[in-house]
Amino acid sequence: MSIPLIIQKLKAVGLKGRGGAEFPTWQKWLWVKQARAKKKFIVCNAAEGDPYSKKDGYLLNHFPEEVIKGIEIALRTIDNSQAFIYLRQDYYQKFRNKLIKLAKNLPIKIVKKRGGYLSGEETTLLNVIEGKEAQPRLRPPYPAQAGLWECPTLINNLETFYFVAKIYENKYKQTRFYTLSGKIKNPGVYQLPLNWTIQKILEQTNNLPKTDFFLQVGGIMGEIILSSETNKPLKGLGVIVVHSFQENPIKLMRGWADFFNHENCDRCTPCREGVFRIEEMIKKGKINFKELEDIFFVLKQTSLCPFGRMVPLPFESLIKKIILRKK
């Protein structure tokens, strides 16, 4: 089977998924294209459950035509396919009618997200679309092998479909969208080059603090880095949150713990009990760092899905780089 031109283009420019995992887009497309099945599905994931990320809303507001174009290209590339646009609740209310109008007669259905943060995880959203409980699936099989109704399913972030349209038209300029927030002058969503360092992004958007600062990069599950570590490109979700050293780091941890405890699905014991114990310890103000280290180890080694395995990262990096350094 020959490889379609658009998949060749996706490979040539090196486009990676923009939902955080950075998996090569062309590879997903090729797997689903070559899968032997009578029916296939395409999902545009616009769940955007991370409280720091605003790019999906920005794209739906400013570039919905390009998003639909990217999905249309996928429909033409993958035979016998049907598409779903999976929208966060407020995006569903705000953009559903516009997207239906733009989709015209294309086989695209608009689906409202049910549940919270974890409902944006790729196997969880499959269950939601099928009308099942919003919980993650065991992998393998992966969605490209057996996704919606056990059929091969291509899942890409909304930003990825936007850039598919640009690549198709030979207008891709190796850029991506970044969400900047926190203790800065000009928060917002910016389209900037992929190879810019975090330092350059802050400088060029006039958001580089004049006082000492630290950052969380990659969203609420992202790593804490120091101002001396900004001379590198931003990976993952494309989120930068700037914090002042005057902020209380324990308060920051309390906010994360509350979010993770509220958003975990309760399906697996390590995540359910581990996140509860982290929040309990922080709220009581009696943090045992050795005990936290043990909880983090269990979460990373035994959690069912990436949610539990990623929970430790912001805590571990904040403790190491900020809290213990102040002692």
Please give the residue range of the domain that contains residue 54.
5-168
Please give the pLDDT value at position 11: 97
Strands (E), the chain: 40-46, 81-87, 108-112, 153-157, 175-182, 188-193, 213-217, 223-226, 239-244
pLDDT at residue 182, rounded to an integer: 96
| The pLDDT value given to residue 1 | 60
| pLDDT value of position 138 | 86
* pLDDT for residue 243: 96
Question: Is the separation of the CB atoms in 121 and 307 below 8 Å?
Answer: yes
Domain final residue, candidates 130, 145, 168: 168
Last residue of a domain, one of 134, 168, 202: 168
pLDDT number for residue 19 = 73
* pLDDT of the residue at 235: 84
Are 206 and 152 members of one domain? no
Same domain, 36 and 163: yes
Domain boundary among 123, 138, 168: 168
What is the model's pLDDT at position 326? 62
Per the CB < 8 A criterion, the answer to whether 205 and 167 are in contact is no
What predicted TM-score, i.e. pTM, was given to this entire model?
Answer: 0.94
Count of structural domains within the chain: 3
Q: Which segments in the chain show pLDDT lower than 50?
A: none
Pairing, β 239-244 against β 153-157: unpaired
CATH number at residue 186: 3.10.20.600
In this structure, the answer to whether residues 18 and 154 fall within a common structural domain is: yes
Q: Are 60 and 95 in contact (CB under 8 A)?
A: yes
Cα separation of 231 and 241, whole Å? 16
pLDDT tens digits, one per residue of 29-85: 999 999 999 999 999 999 999 999 999 999 999 999 999 999 999 999 999 999 999
Are residue 14 and residue 160 in the same domain, yes or no?
Answer: yes
**Same domain, yes or no: 117 and 206:** no
- Mapped onto helix, strand or coil, the DSSP state of residue 59 is helix
**CATH number for the domain harbouring residue 121:** 3.40.50.11540
Q: What b-and-e string marks burial along 141-159, b requiring 16 or more CB atoms within 10 Å of the CB?
A: ebbbbbbbeebbbbbbbbb
